[in-house]
A and B are shown apart, each in its own frame.
Chain A
């Protein structure tokens, strides 16, 4: 079993839709959870970061962590064509530990 699993997609939605992206993980020691966005042929950039369980909102983006289920989610409201990218979840046990990345979900928002 991989440490971090993510549905690779591709996921295609119409503009304005609510998008839900998810990851599951096996290591209950993970405490730091991140979402990176990667445009085609570019390096990833940090989108959101969450420590431990709970929700975090930033504009149209909401990150949720459910440690009891070992499940994290990223919601995108009012999706835009510019949101079309691959979304990578990432996590680590401590702030100075190696970061484990999921394989990414490819998202296309159709105008």
Chain B
């Protein structure tokens, strides 16, 4: 089955620790995204990548880092610099960010719920 997987489903972090959230897709999509979802707020874009070995900051990149060494993988590290990391993190992918494409449907993974203890 094609899709996006995220692991772990639940993650607990102590103050001062870095943690890495995994995101893998087998849809052969070029573009991948990380969003943060908090109650009462829309999905906020953390980082996105249009191609391997390239990524751009989204609206709330401070305290986060990413890598895109393989097309199918886009891990997110939540560093100790992120002051309020408790949230639901969603990874998504799409075919590509292309001019002239009909629309940019994003396919989402099941999410990782991160809690800081």
Contact = CB atoms under 8 A, between A and B. Distances in A.
Interface string A1-25: 0001010100000000000000000
B103 A32 contact: yes
A46 B108 CA distance: 9
Interface stretch (B14-22, B77-85, B92-100): B92-100
B105 A96 contact: no
Task: Using C-beta atoms within 8 Å of the partner chain, give the interface range for chain A.
Answer: 20 to 34
A94 B99 CA distance: 8
Interface in B70-112: 90, 92, 96-111
B53 interface: no
A85 interface: no
A96 B104 contact: yes
Given A101-B42, A101-B43, A103-B40, A95 B99 contact: yes
Given A95-B100, A98-B58, A43 B109 contact: yes
Nearest to B97: A96
B67 to A, nearest CB: 21
A49 B42 contact: no
A42 interface: yes
A23 B35 CA distance: 20
Nearest to A46: B105
Nearest to A86: B37
B45 interface: yes
A43 B90 contact: yes
Contact of B103 (A4, A8, A34, A103): A34
Name the residue in A43, A44, A104 with the highest tally of chain B Cβ atoms < 10 Å from its Cβ. Answer: A43
Contacts of B45: 98
Contacts of A4: 42
Contact of A41 (B40, B101, B107, B111): B111
A27 to B, nearest CB: 14
Contact of B111 (A34, A43, A45, A49): A43
B111 A103 contact: no
Interface of B: 4, 35, 40-43, 45, 48, 58, 90, 92, 96-111, 113
